[in-house]
Amino acid sequence: MSGSDVILDVRGVSKSFGGLKAVQDFSLSLSQGGLKGLIGPNGAGKTTVFNLLTGVYRPDAGTVRLGGANLVGLRPCAIAEAGMARTFQNIRLFGQLSVLDNVRLACHLRSSGTMTGAVLGSVFARGQERAMTERARELLRLFDLADREDEEARNLPYGDQRRLEIARALATGPAVLLLDEPAAGMNPQEKVELRQLIRRVRQEFKVTILLIEHDMGLVMDVCERIAVLDYGQVIAEGTPAEVQSNPRVVEAYLGEAPAEAGHA
């Protein structure tokens, strides 16, 4: 599993909340530029995995290595700086800030300069501001949000808010992007566009993507490999075809193994 092209290597991560073992001995590796799906029934612990990877929760055991460095115990902002960005299942935009400012805020991480410089309006600080604005506008253009940059983020339609979250995550300059149910609440047309968008993001930004999604059509179509989580444990891993025909996966989704192998 540990080839030189592995960018994210998660081993033996566990987390309990009181008596509830939310995630047990979770291992996963992502190869550079890969696109992996993480699926599982409701309550399987998918979002908890994201929270463990990004430092919102601290794992009880295990290691999370990104490009070789162990991230366990770092604060979320340090993990973002190390190159991991995420979106949220329940959208967490900066509602009262403009669309442009949401993305510009995420550019802050890679900016340099001092507060004094910003207050005095130094040449360097002004240059940084313009570069951040330019970069944010580029991202908004790619995500079809350019004409809404002055609107407050909370006033955007649902689908636009989801896209803005992805744009904002990309603005932090990540190596690995974690998408938590990006298609939730989208209509079929928007879902089709989302597929194309995910592919484009992967090519243009050269990011490695880990995707949580309930829409099986989208997951099977877009992901190269899929890991299936149930009761906090990985029960299967493989290509979409392999996962679909795995009896344990079918059992996790449907309760019991039916006669025909097939659609989960």
Partner 1 sequence: MNTSAAQLRERSRALAPGVGLSLARGVAPLVACLVLAVALQIAVRPLMGDYAAKLVLDIGVAVILAVSLTIVNGFTGQFSMGHAGFLAVGGYASGAVTYYGSLKVWGSAATHGGLLSGRPMSVDPSTLPLIGSGDLLFVGALLVGGLTAAALGLIVGLPSLRLRGDYLAIVTLGFGEIVRVCIQQTGPVIRTAAEAAQVPAWKLATSVGGALGFTGIPKYTSLFWVWLIAGITIMVAYRLKRSTYGRAFLSIREDEIASEAMGVNTTRYKVWAFVISAFFAGIAGGLFAHTLGVGLSAEAAGFLKSFDIIIMVVLGGLGSVSGAALAAMVVTLLPEWLRGKHVGPVDLSQYRLVIYALALILMMIFRPKGLLGVAELWDRSLWTSLAARLKRLAGGKGGSR
* DSSP state string for 157-180: -HHHHHHHHHHHHHHT--SEEEEE
- Which of 8, 166, 175, 219 binds partner 1 (CB under 8 A)? It is 175
Least spacing, CB of residue 230 vs partner 1, in Å: 26
Cα–Cα distance between 58 and 180 in angstroms, integer?
19
What angle in degrees, to the nearest 10, is found between the helix axes of 99-107 and 123-142? Answer: 120
Cα–Cα distance between 210 and 88 in angstroms, integer?
13
Is 119 a binder of partner 1 (CB under 8 A)?
Answer: yes
Least spacing, CB of residue 263 vs partner 1, in Å: 35
Which tokens go with 257?
Answer: 């193994």
Is 163 a binder of partner 1 (CB under 8 A)?
Answer: no
Q: Which pairing describes strands 35-39 and 233-238: parallel, antiparallel, or unpaired?
A: unpaired
Which tokens go with 126?
Answer: 């002004």
The SS3 of residue 23 is strand
- Which of 14, 33, 41, 56 binds partner 1 (CB under 8 A)? It is 56
Is 202 a binder of partner 1 (CB under 8 A)?
Answer: no
Is 46 a binder of partner 1 (CB under 8 A)?
Answer: no
152 neighbors 95 (Cβ within 8 angstroms)? yes
Is 166 a binder of partner 1 (CB under 8 A)?
Answer: no
- Which of 30, 80, 142, 167 binds partner 1 (CB under 8 A)? It is 80
Which residue from 177, 94, 157, 102 is spatially nearest to 132, judged by alpha carbons?
Answer: 102
Element (DSSP H or E) covering residue 210: strand 208-212
Least spacing, CB of residue 220 vs partner 1, in Å: 28
Least spacing, CB of residue 77 vs partner 1, in Å: 5
Is 95 a binder of partner 1 (CB under 8 A)?
Answer: yes
Least spacing, CB of residue 147 vs partner 1, in Å: 16
Least spacing, CB of residue 66 vs partner 1, in Å: 9
Interacting stretch for partner 1, rule CB under 8 A, among 17-25, 170-178, 214-222, 229-237? Answer: 170-178
Residue 19: how many CA atoms within 13 Å on its side-chain side?
A: 0
Burial 50-62 (b: 16+ CB within 10 A, else e): bbbbbbebebeeb
Is 4 a binder of partner 1 (CB under 8 A)?
Answer: no
Note the residues at the interface with partner 1 (CB under 8 A).
54, 56, 67, 75-77, 80-83, 85-86, 88, 92-97, 101, 104-113, 115, 118-132, 134-135, 150, 168-169, 171-173, 175
